[in-house]
Structure 1
Amino acid sequence: MEVWDIFDLPEGHKPIGCKWVYKIKRKPDGIVDKYKARLVAKGFNQVEGLDYFKSFSTVANSVTVRVLLALAAGKAWIFHQIDINNVFLHGYLDEEIYMTLPEGYKEDQKHRKGEVQLILTVYVNDILITGTLESVILEVKSFLHKEFSIKDLGIAKYFLGIKIARSTNEMFLTQQKYIRDKIANMKMEKASVVATPLLHDWHAHNDDSPLIINSSVYRRLHPTDNNWRATLHVVRYLKGTIRHGLFYSTHQDGSRLKSYCDSDWKKCPLTRKSVTGYCVLLDSALVF
């Protein structure tokens, strides 16, 4: 893949540092799935416009995943999932970037290398594969296994925090583990639930409530006491709707796109602009 080359640092150039980041990845039931290690370049030491001009790498987002799941449900396609063990976000660089060698580096040999519809959805190193023929999906996975070190996860059951439960006639998407993790992180397992996602009288504008003293909470969530109360309300709402999800029927062809919106006229107390909410459905499947 030729992601980097080892050089003596040219005169006049300053390398950026790097560090290893370790994480335990768990299955939806909490059992340890694997131990992960990532090598992260300390790009925050670079100056935009001097060391680089742009930084962007395309990955799938949650809307893309929901659209694909809705289409696949209607066409009765099977989803397979793989995990690339060693992955790099791909982007084109016009600048020369130099990084110090990672701790514990040891140079090793590098490994490179009728109509059928096939779709691959990539989010960094997690890949969903679906299409008209499962045999072709298996061929693609076999090819990728020859080119990269991969972990074959079989039929997709959990992707980007979304649990995928499927039967013959339906698909049901939930985020139970994601919500439980947030509740545990906030230590709100015993908190009461609420029926609405926001306080009825809450406004974010002209917020003069006291700042939160706990800096770790500030970095994770919101800066003021008013916003903090609203956040706790949202978590309590999620706790009460933890079993809710999105239902996708197999009796749809994905040919009709519908959208609905609802505007609250002059809702903003500062600008007097309207506040608009909307949703988009692919046939009967809510995707955005």
Structure 2
Amino acid sequence: MVNSMLSYSGLSQRDAIFDEHGFSSVSRPSQMSLVKGTEDSGGSVVPEKITEEKEAINNEMDSIMGNNTWVFADLPPCCRPLGCKWILKRKLKVDGSIKNFKARLVIQGFKQKSKIDNFDTYAPVVRFSTIRLLIAMASVHSLIIHQMDVKKTFLNGELDEEVYMNQPQGFIMHGNENMVCKLIKSLYGLKHAPKQWHQNFDEMVLSNCYLLNHADKCVYSKFDDYGKGVIICLYIDDMLIFGTDQVQVDMTNKFLSSRFSMKDMGEDDVILGIRIKHESNGIAISQSHYIEKVLKKFNYFDCTLVSTPMDTSEKLMPNKGHVVSQLEYSRVIDCLMYDMTCTRPDIALVVGKLSSNTEDNSSTSGWVFLLGGDAISWASKKQTYITGSTMKFEFVSLAAAGKEAEWLKNLLLEIPLWSKPIAPL
């Protein structure tokens, strides 16, 4: 246990915050700053990592206070304030080294009551199919792909509901000990924080002549009469900007930076665990670093390589008598599903078989859509009911694939770079 040399007398082990992956236990900060150079209970100097985590907490609090996230207020009658906690995390680079330490003040939004202090909570995110489609178009049209990140994303949303929160322990202001924080802007952990952020971004972008793609409401475009412009692709706080030239990208970068606190990531590299690599004959996407990480995590890094995902003649049978860790198995399947969803259509059928009921006799539908020779959308999933004939099975599969084709067509229709009209299905 790490005991910080802080002036707050009420600090105890109950106030320590434990990172999920066992990085450290860090005591809550006291007042408006933290004392550097701490010692543990045995008098030994605490590793430098602890000091960096404390600095991350101070930086987060500075951002919150500078953003006017809350005001002090008396708690109204019959209201219960929500609690909050500090969550610490270390962000890693692709090679596994530590990039930086992050601290977030997270409100206990799980205690919110529907229709009382939160109403609509839906917030869209861009589909992976859309990301792959835009990357394929970037390869065809030689677009520049620029990557940006929104800092303190959920602190940008304005709240419509009244939400009250206890003062963060360690940052209780003298003279206002009995008051609570009335949130003016959203905070991490609120159920409707993602919705408020997306609504704020959406209104800001649309008010500056960007056009919303109605097939995917996280895609925005802006082109002039000469065919020059940009496409913005947003996944919560991760952003890709596809531009016809560097001037258009720089203009968009400047515009976004004037409205939000942005981090310029430069040329696209890794987004959502997907590595984007520009080659002489096109653009390649991969997750080799992610796969290596998964293999090491489950102690399969030295396993024997094979050329195919599965022997198709092998029939999976229900497990009888073999001891299997269900939690570890589900985690392995979860990792494989993410890899399959992002970049690996070749393992879709196998992952589907491994994650489904082996005694289910329903048929499997599947499809792959290509653009410019590149796979942009794929699926392999069980049909929801058992069909009585091969013809019925094929019609059910056709209907599912047809829905995806119609959606892809609508997505392309609203991208200015795509030649129109598109032939009907």
TM-score normalised by structure 1 residue count: 0.70
Does residue 202 of the first structure (1) align with residue 316 of the second (2)?
yes
Q: CA deviation at 1:12?
A: 1.0
Q: Cα distance 1:163–1:171, how it changes in 2: closer, same or farther (>3 A)?
A: same
What amino acid sits opposite 1:130 in the alignment?
F
Q: Tell me the equivalent position of 2:93.
A: 27
Q: Tell me the equivalent position of 2:302.
A: 190
Q: How many residues align?
A: 247
> 2:260 aligned to 121, 131, 148, which one?
148
What amino acid sits opposite 2:88 in the alignment?
Y
Q: Tell me the equivalent position of 1:99.
A: 165
Q: Cα distance 1:103–1:156, how it changes in 2: closer, same or farther (>3 A)?
A: farther
Larger radius of gyration: 2
Q: Tell me the equivalent position of 1:171.
A: 283
Q: Secondary structure at the match of 2:315?
A: coil
Q: Tell me the equivalent position of 1:287.
A: 376
> 1:222 aligned to 322, 330, 348, which one?
330
What percentage of residue pairs aligned between the two structures are identical?
30
> 1:81 aligned to 136, 139, 147, which one?
147
Q: Secondary structure at the match of 2:165?
A: coil
2-structure distance, mates of 1:189, 1:74: 36
What amino acid sits opposite 1:188 in the alignment?
Y
2-structure distance, mates of 1:39, 1:10: 23
* 1:57 and 1:91 in contact (8 A); partners too: no
Q: Larger deviation: 175-184 or 5-14?
A: 5-14
Q: Cα distance 1:155–1:207, how it changes in 2: closer, same or farther (>3 A)?
A: same
2-structure distance, mates of 1:144, 1:94: 24
Match runs of 1:54-133 below 5 Å: 54-88=120-154, 95-105=161-171, 114-133=226-245
Q: Secondary structure at the match of 1:190?
A: coil
What amino acid sits opposite 1:280 in the alignment?
F
More helix per residue: 1 or 2? 2
Does residue 8 of the first structure (1) align with residue 97 of the second (2)?
no
Listed one character per residue, the Cα deviations across residues 197-228 of structure 1 (whole Å, up to 9, x for unaligned) are 3573225xx76667756xxx72x6529xxxx7
1-structure distance, mates of 2:239, 2:172: 29
Does residue 274 of the first structure (1) align with residue 363 of the second (2)?
yes
Listed one character per residue, the Cα deviations across residues 126-158 of structure 1 (whole Å, up to 9, x for unaligned) are 111112121121122123223332221111011
2-structure distance, mates of 1:186, 1:269: 24
* 2:69 and 2:155 in contact (8 A); partners too: no
TM-score normalised by structure 2 residue count: 0.49
Q: Which residues of structure 1 form unaligned runs of 5+?
A: 247-266
1-structure distance, mates of 2:270, 2:144: 14
2-structure distance, mates of 1:89, 1:60: 20
Listed one character per residue, the Cα deviations across residues 31-90 of structure 1 (whole Å, up to 9, x for unaligned) are 322222233222222344665454222222322211111111111001111122211188
2-structure distance, mates of 1:103, 1:144: 34
What amino acid sits opposite 2:133 in the alignment?
V
* 1:15 and 1:100 in contact (8 A); partners too: yes
Q: Tell me the equivalent position of 1:257.
A: none
Q: Tell me the equivalent position of 2:222.
A: none
Q: Cα distance 1:207–1:55, how it changes in 2: closer, same or farther (>3 A)?
A: farther
More strand per residue: 1 or 2? 1
What amino acid sits opposite 1:222 in the alignment?
S
Q: Cα distance 1:126–1:15, how it changes in 2: closer, same or farther (>3 A)?
A: same
* 1:22 and 1:35 in contact (8 A); partners too: yes
Give the root-mean-square deviation of aligned CA atoms.
4.0
Q: Secondary structure at the match of 2:91?
A: strand
Q: CA deviation at 1:10?
A: 1.5
